[in-house]
Amino acid sequence: MSAAGVGDLHVDRYAVIGNPVAHSKSPFIHARFAEQTGEHIEYTRLLAPLDGFADEVNAFKAAGGRGLNVTVPFKLEAHALAHRLSPRAAAAGAVNTLRFDADGIFGDNTDGFGLVRDIEANLGVALKGARVLLLGAGGAARGVVLPMLERGPREITIVNRTAAKAHDLIGQFAGAAAEAGCVINGGGPHAVDPAPYDVIVNATAGSLDAALPECDERAFGTRTLAYDMMYGAQPTVFMRHAQSLGARAADGLGMLVEQAAESFYVWRGVRPDSAPVLAALRAQLAAQA
């Protein structure tokens, strides 16, 4: 699938597009993946005007670009722009990976894959047969439900401050849950079972503002993995809260690296080793702490 062969100096261009985008760690991640796999790529940042996403994408494509990672606030626009969608992108209603090929623009969503892989491969927690609590019902939550269902959990409870949004999400995935033999339920914060879950995922943006999502403290147990999709140099307020209740806490840095590895695979047909790249990013964050 790679356009670059042995002795071929051709370099394929990729970028992360967003607004803001200067903070993105994607160029570092993909540069490491390219070194590791021998793929000939160049990866940069692309700042798009808030009202000019499609124009920037089309200009990048016209200049020979091969693909883009899409970050906030353009994932819904990327979904609309794609000519074809993967099943997981269609289910998520959002796209974080664009690939340009002979058939036009292909849209995928690797966020949920990244979350699931981080939980299972890096953190060693099996989702099969697990009771999962998903806090939040926005775009971040919607992108991870189908990949989690594919791992065969026993139950997924979706809880949101606005119960109607949770019910909408539950309805959207009811069929897939039935096929997977998984109970899917939820609603407002009162829908949290006052007993420990195996995995609690914070898909709200609360940690950006140091705000805790409303959740019964009895949902956290000593064998609970409390996973925050956000990350930073210091543990998030959600992680500290979970640890104070005896739970094991993890941030979303591994999800970032794993979704990038899946994007790399979508583009190049080569699956990089994420572990050394995640370790390097951890070291960078620790130096900032």
Query: Residues of 175-191 as b/e, b for ≥16 C-beta within 10 angstroms?
Result: ebbeebebebbbbbbeb
Domain 12-109+255-288, classified CATH 3.40.50.2300, yes or no = no
Q: What top-level class would CATH report for the domain 112-251? A: alpha beta
SS3 4: coil
Q: Locate tokens 């790249």: which residue?
A: 277
| 244 annotated as a binding-site residue | no
Q: What is the pLDDT of residue 139?
A: 87
Give dist(CA 274, CA 288) in Å, integer. 22
Q: Please tell me if the domain spanning 12-109+255-288 has the same topology as the one spanning 112-251.
A: yes
Q: Which one has a higher pLDDT value, 288 or 51?
A: 51
Residue 231: other Cβ atoms inside 10 A: 21
Q: Does an H or E element contain 268, and which?
A: helix 253-268
pLDDT of residue 80: 97
Reply yes or no on whether the pLDDT at 4 is more than 50. no
Check the annotation: does 263 bind a ligand: no
Element housing 282 (H / E)? helix 275-288
Average pLDDT over residues 151-161: 98
Q: Which residues are within 8 A (CB) of 98 and not within 5 positions of it... i.e. 6 or more apart?
A: 57, 67, 68, 70, 78, 81, 82, 105, 106, 107, 108
Is 254 labeled as ligand-binding? no
Q: Indicate the average pLDDT of the chain.
A: 95
Which residue among the candidates 32, 75, 131, 268 is catalytic per the annotation?
75
Cα 187 off chain centre by: 23
Concerning whether 75 is annotated as a catalytic residue, the answer is yes
* Ordered DSSP codes for 96-122: SEEEEETTEEEEE--HHHHHHHIIIII
Q: Please write the tens of the pLDDT for every residue from 178-213.
A: 999 999 999 999 999 999 999 999 999 888 888 999
Lowest mean pLDDT among 40-44, 183-187, 199-203, 284-288: 284-288
Element spanning 47, H or E: strand 41-47
The answer to whether 246 is a known ligand-binding residue is: no
Q: Residue 2's pLDDT is what?
A: 46
122 belongs to an annotated ligand binding site: no
Identify the band that residue 266 occupies on the pLDDT scale cut at 50, 70 and 90: very high
- Per-residue pLDDT tens over the stretch 211-263: 999 999 999 999 999 999 999 999 999 999 999 999 999 999 999 999 999 99
25 in a known ligand binding site: yes
Q: What pLDDT, in 10s, does the model give residues 119-147?
A: 999 999 999 999 999 999 998 999 999 99
Answer yes or no: are the C-beta atoms of 180 and 150 closer than 8 Å: yes
Q: Any residues with CB less than 8 A from the CB of 46 and at least 6 apart, and which?
A: 15, 16, 17, 18, 21, 56, 60, 68
> Is the pLDDT score of 6 beyond 60?
no
Question: Does residue 5 surpass a pLDDT of 60?
Answer: no
Domain residue ranges of the chain, discontinuous segments joined by +: 12-109+255-288, 112-251
